[in-house]
Amino acid sequence: MIEQKTYHETVLEAAKEVFETMIFMEIEPSQETPFFQDADLLMGSITFKGDLEGCMVISMTWPCARIIARNMLALEPEADITDEETCDAIGEVSNMVMGSIKSRLQDTYSSIEVSIPSVITGKNLTGPNIEGAERICVPVSIDEDQSAVFSLLYRMRKG
């Protein structure tokens, strides 16, 4: 089994790859987890099953999500963007990051099937809880002035 530190590095490397190559933004690990209490949040998630099962989640504020969506869609920083476009972009970011994580883990876990992403919005959101799962949280700084948290919940397949 891969150690938690390695999962943390895997999530961070996957996120960096996607953000640098597809969204044209830099992310760096943050020493502090953002304090999102009472903020309007967007949470993109994608589940996976197989030799390893769980869920990967990205949490951020709406302003951060809009910046990411604009960059991903090659829009000007002040361009109008709808909530639907923003949610679609964050769903796709979730999908790309999970795909990158999957490719990094495939030598250890040859069977991992990934779901379609989902995006939820609201205040005081918490990620899913999976019985018996370990949780890795990777807080990041995006282009130095935005924050997000990547979370990976995982457990070995039963049976």
Q: Percentage of the chain surpassing pLDDT 90?
A: 74
Collect all residues with Cβ–Cβ distance below 8 Å to 11 and sequence separation of at least 6. 56, 97, 101, 136, 138, 150, 152
Confidence of residue 90 (pLDDT cuts 50, 70, 90): very high
- Nearest CA among 153, 146, 154, 113 for reference residue 19: 146
pLDDT digits (tens, 9 = 90+) for 95-108: 999 999 999 998 88
Both tokens of residue 117? 């992403």
**What are the backbone dihedrals phi and psi of residue 137, each rounded to the nearest 5 degrees, phi first?**
-115, 130
Domain encompassing residue 24: 4-156
What is the Cα–Cα distance from 19 to 101, expressed in whole angstroms? 13
How many domains, in total, are found in the chain? 1
Coil, helix or strand at residue 123: strand
Query: Which tokens go with 111?
Result: 């069977």
- Global pTM reads 0.91
Map residue 158 onto helix, strand or coil.
coil
Q: If DSSP codes are grouped into helix, strand and coil, which group holds residue 106?
A: coil
CATH number, domain of 89, equals 3.40.1550.10
CA torsion angle 42 10 25 94 (round to 10): -30
